[in-house]
Every structure is written in structure tokens, then in C-alpha cells.
Amino acid sequence: MFKKLQTSVGDILDFPPDVVADGPKITITGRRKILVENYISIVDFSEEEIRLETAEGDVCFGGQGLVLKVILATELRIEGELSSLSFTSHKV
């Protein structure tokens, strides 16, 4: 019920979909800085790959020298040389 109300209010107030949705918001600055909002958990991480679970599936960042710089409950900052980004949907 709350999700339905949340969507309706978002539609009425003309909010962008990323504001009312619970899916991830990913901001990439160049190839060196990544901000991920609305992630659920860190599935796996190394200097070559960071995999995150989100409400819409897993997000995988590939590269070299990847480092988790900031880890907060709703926000994650990654730095390093990004070379790939891939998504895997949750199967229903």
C-alpha cells in the first residue's frame, strides 16, 4: 500500500522516477569516481570487480584499482579505473 501511495504522490508532484523508486541511482564521473545510491548489499569486491545487490538486480563494476571509499547505509562511493559496467536482473 505504501509503495502505491508513494508512486501516486510522486506522479502528482511530478517527481522524476529515480526520486520515488527504490532502484539504484548510479552517477559516474569520468572513469575514476562512481556514486551508487539505493543499493542493498555488497555481494563481492576486489580491486578488479565490485558487485552490488540492488532492488532491480546485481550491478557489477569492473576495472583496476577499485576501492570502496565511502560505505553508508544508502550510499556507496567507488574510486579506481572503471573499464566495465554490467547489470544482472533478478529472476522472478
38-81 pLDDT, tens digit each: 999 999 999 999 999 999 999 999 999 999 999 999 899 999 99
Residue 7 lies in a domain: no
Please report, rounded to a whole number, the percentage of residues in the chain having pLDDT higher than 90.
Answer: 70
Q: Do the beta carbons of residue 68 and residue 41 sit within 8 Å?
A: no
Model-level pTM?
A: 0.76
> Quick one: pLDDT at residue 8?
54
CATH of the domain at 43: 2.60.40.2000
Structural domains counted in the chain: 1
Residue 40 lies in a domain: yes
Full residue range of the structural domain in which residue 76 is found: 21-88
Residue 34 lies in a domain: yes
Report d(CA 25, CA 86) in Å as an integer: 14
Backbone angles phi, psi at 76, to 5 degrees: -140, 135
Is pLDDT at 92 greater than 70 in this prediction? no
Residue 39 lies in a domain: yes
